[in-house]
Structure 1
Amino acid sequence: MTQGFDKDLTSIQEARRLIENCYSAQEKFLDFSQGQVDRICKAMADAAYQAAERLGCMATEETTFGIPQHKTLKNQLASRGVWESIKAVKTVGVIREDKTSGVVEIGWPMGVVAALSPSTNPTSTLIHNTLIAVKARNGIVNAPHPSSWRCCLEATRLMVDAGEAAGMPSGLVSCMSHISLPGTQELMRHEKTAVILATGGSDMVRAAHSMGKPAYGVGPGNVPCYVDRSADVKSAASLIVSSKAFDNSVICATEQAVVADRPIAAGLRAEMERLGACFVNPTQAAALSRVLFFPNGAINPRSVGQTPQTLASMADIRIPEATRIIVAPLSRVGKDEPLSAEKLTTVLGWYEVDGWQAGCDRCIELIRFGGRGHSLVIHAADEGVIMEFGLQKPVFRLLVNTMGTLGSVGITTGLMPALTLGSGGIGGAISGDNITTTHLLNVKRLAYPIKSPPAQAMVGAAMVQPVANDLDPAELKAIVRAVIEELVRHGEKT
């Protein structure tokens, strides 16, 4: 801590210093070529990829959330996976030219990015945000969650060392080490901050949107998983259990409740139980609810990213040692049923419905209870049902016959690889996309004329009258003289 400063003042001063340094470095970065930018980004991506396992272990140890091997996989996605997806994107100079429309597009950075990352996916989010920002010639100052600043600082150090060795200006990429709410607020509201990337809880996202800056806010997702009677039940069961168990369910697009079509519900439950899903009774579910949530409905952070065994011990209930996830049968959605909300841990809700229309209605209930605009998973073979869900659900990622966790971030699907997932206008966000470098790139446009201006738009046009073939020469001279006088009056040379 800085000598003589309170923690909040130290944090505010650090935010100001990092922003000023970043701003100066980004002005120098404006002169870099596409080749120079790409060499820097590749060097940073390679460094993060090589350290993916170590950073994953650090993140788990520091936060106590999740599973190191799964955090390693996310770090690998955020580094090499993201770089592979953006490396061919033009961001410098002329990026597109359309001879037909006469428009030439020129890439231009936004400036300094203030990026907030969550404790649930700390290093992977930071790596992703840093790469997409620098690829567009922005600078970035990262603000980690207070419980994950050490692993984030190390991830930043590795990327900075690699980037600067490749020619990156000093100060272009940095990370706060003195974390406080006033410091993070100063980072976001600073006059030289151009845009905010905010990935985390609802309160933090709302704060980001209140700063008077452009902001990509990415909040919670209460993701339903509908399993239709046409689904491959064994495949669905395997994907659901694996996805919910992945990194102990800290990815915001993890399945939060299964909505099972009644004809296949018993078979799906049996197969999930065979794979390690423990279905609890109402008394046990109530005990888990008290552990996962405070009376006001807020998530208990001690429950986040924990194994089923840890949760069972906290709730004083008994489950098999081999349990991979806990499943709670539910009948309602809303505040009076806390387990129907987003659960960033290894507990899954369970509903049974009769037919896809009823399944559709139940899924919409769940989405409206804390997951607007985010994601939905559907397991089905009936393309008509799949398309109906696509057309009717108020979400921007509909993942078909895959894992919610890995499908949403682009590991098992063709979606843009990303750790920052937009929820669109209905979810209080500016975009419903997987956020990538093009979201941090402004575009200037040179527009050449492709049509002549209408005659009536030209100066003096109102004076010109149609001339008949038999016009008297004297009258013609008078008209010409009047036109000349009008042009001279408007400063034109004759």
Structure 2
Amino acid sequence: MNVRDTQGIAAGAGHSDVHVPQIAPQIAALIERSRAAQQAFEFAGQSALDTAAAAAAWAIMEPGRNRELAEQAVRDTGLGNADDKVRKNYRKTLGLLRDLHGLKTCGVIARDEATGIVEIARAVGVVAAITPSTNPAATPANKIINALKCGNAVIVAPSPKGYGACETLIGFIHAQFAKAGLDPALVQMLPAPVDKAATAALMREADLVVATGSQANVRMAYASGTPAFGVGAGNVASIVTRTANLRDAAHKIAASKTFDNATSCSSENSVVIDDAIYDAMLRELAACGGVLLDAQQKEKLQAAMWTDGKLSARCTAKSASQIAQSAGLADIATRECAFLMVEETGFGESHPFSGEKLAPVLTVYRARDFADAANIVRRLYAYIGAGHSVGLHTGEPHEALTLGSTLPVARVIVNQAHCFATGGNFDNGLPFSLSMGCGTWGRNNFSENLGFRQYLNITRVAYPIAEHVPELDSLLGDYFRRFGQ
């Protein structure tokens, strides 16, 4: 019997004064099917777990299905562009397969003769996967593959806009499962229409919640009473120092800023440029398709992008030309601009360009020197984005250690296109993921890229070893010599 079942019996038997929200019959049925499937799957062996993960991966990677999912995602959500989503769906899944290949995720996974500890991988059970509209296929697929690899079942709660693409993805997964003789109940989703009440009920009844998307969903996951991993807010800044290769930096920032119309939380929202190379760097960004707005144009853009302090849907994840048209900047809209740039000096709510924009709009700050650049980033993240990541373009790689030691960030991305690198890439060692833990800075309980380890319990068997009791002086001798007893 599942722990939650015994808790429910106890609550019903001895705590009738405690209010337990009624579970909708549809969700209760989902959970029941999911638990039955998971309990059989968990002990099916490593080959079965690997087969299920592979089936889910190929469901999204096969070119025809990938294209269909990408086009449906853009059509339904109005966010991003299909060609970039095709690349994202494929590369993120391929990279995840690489990370998982050959890993043992059930049974005994480690033995340490010196300590007498044996580690046994155990599934967590039923996973509630909360997913965003910005990546309505790639993010569910990533979570599903990780969960299956570890012997779990998954119920996805997609965003309302992303429901159709997620439903199509799960249909593709079920078709692959049929070929492999796997139970389709291992991967399910909430029935439409998805609302907060249904999502909250799923969170309460699952064994683990993994939440990506709005901070409201993350907070709801943490408040659900179920163990949860949630991500922090993005608002990535990149620093360009006087020793950087400016052309290389500009091309990488432009590629990151424009990919999928900046739907990624890892796309740069700001670039902080050393005063010594400020004008030269702006010229390089312009050569990559960036258009710097003047003060009047910036004011028009701000009015179009924010309504009552909230980002406007008409600009979110749209192309630079579409955004310029919405802002009444017809002369710019008719040009072939890749992204818009605005200069800024302030931070906080009264300076909305200092926050996350989810659009190909890049805020530009001028810094006196490296120390000032780091301080500008610190002030940006004090507003939005603490814990996520910072980019650094420099000829002095040791500067990254300074940022990693002093800024509230979980990742420092050196001389790379940030939105590709921070979630893992084939030219760095970070694990592939679409969900970035931001540590306590971002009010998260982890600071790594969300991966398979978050979907596992580990049981440790402790065998007896030869006793070794240290002498007190070996541990406190230095303290005693310096300060006495």
Alignment TM-score, normalising by the size of structure 1: 0.87
Corresponding residue for residue 389 of structure 2: 375
- Per the alignment, residue 31 of structure 2 pairs with 19
Residue 201 of structure 1 is aligned with which of 191, 214, 224? 214
1:81 is the counterpart of 2:80 = no
Alignment of 1:26-65 (within 5 A): 26-50=38-62, 51-65=65-79
Cα deviation per residue 1:288-340 (whole Å; 9 max; x = unaligned)?
11222222x32223321101111111111131521000000011011110111
Alignment correspondent of 2:138: 124
SS of equivalent residue, structure 2 residue 450: coil
Task: Summarize the alignment of residues 151-230 of structure 1 with structure 2, pairs less than 5 Å apart.
Answer: 151-178=165-192, 179-190=194-205, 193-230=206-243
Please, which runs of 5 or more residues in structure 2 have no aligned partner?
A: 1-20, 470-485
* 1:385-424 CA-partner distances (Å, limit 9, x unpaired): 2221121111111111111110111124221001111111
Letter in 1 for 2:376: R
Is 2:326 the partner of 1:314?
yes
Aligned length: 443
SS in 2 for 1:97: strand
CA distance in 2, matches of 1:213, 1:260: 43
User: Could you give the per-residue CA deviations for residues 121-164 of structure 1, whole angstroms, max 9, x where no partner exists?
Assistant: 11000000000011110110001100110011111111122134
1:94 aligns with 2:111: no
The question of whether the paired residues in 2 share the 8 Å contact of 1:136 and 1:441 is answered with yes
Matched AA of 1:378: L
Structure 2 SS opposite 1:106:
strand
Instruction: Judge conservation of contact 2:209–2:227 (CA < 8 Å) in 1.
Output: yes
Correspondence 1:261 to 2:242 = no
> Structure 2: how far apart are the matches of 1:209 and 1:83?
29
How far is the alpha carbon of 1:40 from its aligned partner?
Answer: 1.8
1:323 partner letter? C
Query: 1:12 & 1:274 partners in 2: Cα distance?
Result: 56
Tell me the equivalent position of 2:296. 283
* Secondary structure in 2 matching 1:245: helix
Paired amino acid for 2:453: T
2: CA distance between counterparts of 1:85 and 1:325?
33
Percent of aligned pairs sharing the same letter:
30
- Counterpart among 333, 344, 350 of residue 336 in structure 1: 350
Q: Once the 2 structures are TM-superposed, how far is the Cα of residue 15 of structure 1 from its aligned partner? A: 2.7
Q: 1:219 to 1:452 in 2, by over 3 A?
A: closer
Query: Which portions of structure 1, spanning 4 or more consecutive aligned residues, are displaced by more than 4 angstroms?
Result: none
2:8 counterpart residue number:
none
Aligned AA for 1:252? C
Q: 1-side partners of 2:181 and 2:382: how far apart? A: 48
**Distance between the aligned counterparts of 1:13 and 1:65, measured in 2?**
33
Query: Are the aligned partners of 1:243 and 1:406 in contact in 2 as well (CA < 8 Å)?
Result: yes
Q: CA deviation at 1:53?
A: 2.1
RMSD of aligned residue pairs (Cα, Å): 1.7
Question: Residues 45 and 79 of structure 1 are in contact (CA less than 8 Å); yes or no, is this contact kept in structure 2?
Answer: yes
Q: Is the Cα–Cα contact under 8 Å of residues 177 and 184 in structure 2 kept in the other structure? A: no
State the distance in 2 between where 1:360 and 1:452 align.
50
1:428 and 2:440 aligned? no
Question: For 1:384 and 1:79, how far apart are their aligned partners in 2?
Answer: 32
Alignment check: 8 A CA contact 2:413 2:422 kept: yes
2:151 to 137, 143, 168: 137
Distance 2:392 2:24 in 1: 45
Alignment pair present for 1:417 and 2:429:
no
Query: 5+ residue gaps in structure 1?
Result: 1-8, 455-494
The answer to whether the 8 A contact 1:153-1:176 is kept is: no
Aligned position for 2:456:
441
1:304 aligns with one of 313, 316, 324 = 316
In the TM superposition, what whole-angstrom CA distance separates every residue of 1:451-489 from its partner, at most 9, and x where no partner exists?
3599xxxxxxxxxxxxxxxxxxxxxxxxxxxxxxxxxxx
Measure the CA separation in 2 of the matches of 1:43 and 1:325. Answer: 38
Residue 176 of structure 1 and its aligned partner are, at CA, apart by 2.1
| Cα separation, 2, equivalents of 1:92 and 1:293 | 49
1:150 maps to: 164
CA contact (8 A) 1:14 1:183 kept: no
> What is the distance in 2 between the residues matched to 1:164 and 1:210?
37
Contact 2:397 2:414 in 1 (8 A): no
| Aligned mates of 2:29, 2:389 — CA distance in 1 | 38
Contact 2:234 2:385 in 1 (8 A): yes
Q: Which amino acid aligns with 1:31?
A: F
3-state SS of paired residue (1:197): strand
User: 2: CA distance between counterparts of 1:337 and 1:292?
Assistant: 12
The answer as to whether partners of 1:15 and 1:184 remain within 8 angstroms in 2 is: no
- Taking the aligned partners of 2:160 and 2:127, their CA distance within structure 1 comes to 19
Q: Over residues 369-390 of structure 1, what are the superposed CA-to-partner deviations in whole Å (9 max), with x where a residue is unaligned?
A: 1101111111001133222112
Matched, 1:361 2:398: no
3-state SS, counterpart of residue 322 of structure 1: coil
How far, CA to CA, are the matches of 2:155 and 2:437 in structure 1?
20
Name whichever of 325-334 and 27-36 sits farther off. 27-36
Compare 313-322 and 110-119 and name the one that shifted more. Answer: 313-322
1:327/1:453 CA distance change after superposition, 3 Å: closer
Distance 1:93 1:316, change over 3 A: same
Q: Give the match for residue 483 of structure 1.
A: none
Q: 1:78 to 1:239 in 2, by over 3 A?
A: closer
TM-score where L is the length of structure 2: 0.89
The amino acid that maps onto 2:232 is: G
Kindly report which structure 2 residues correspond to 1:227-242, keeping only aligned pairs within 5 A, or say none. 227-242=240-255
Offset at residue 167 of structure 1 (A): 3.0
- Give the structure 2 partner of residue 405 of structure 1: 419
Name 1:347's counterpart in structure 2: 361
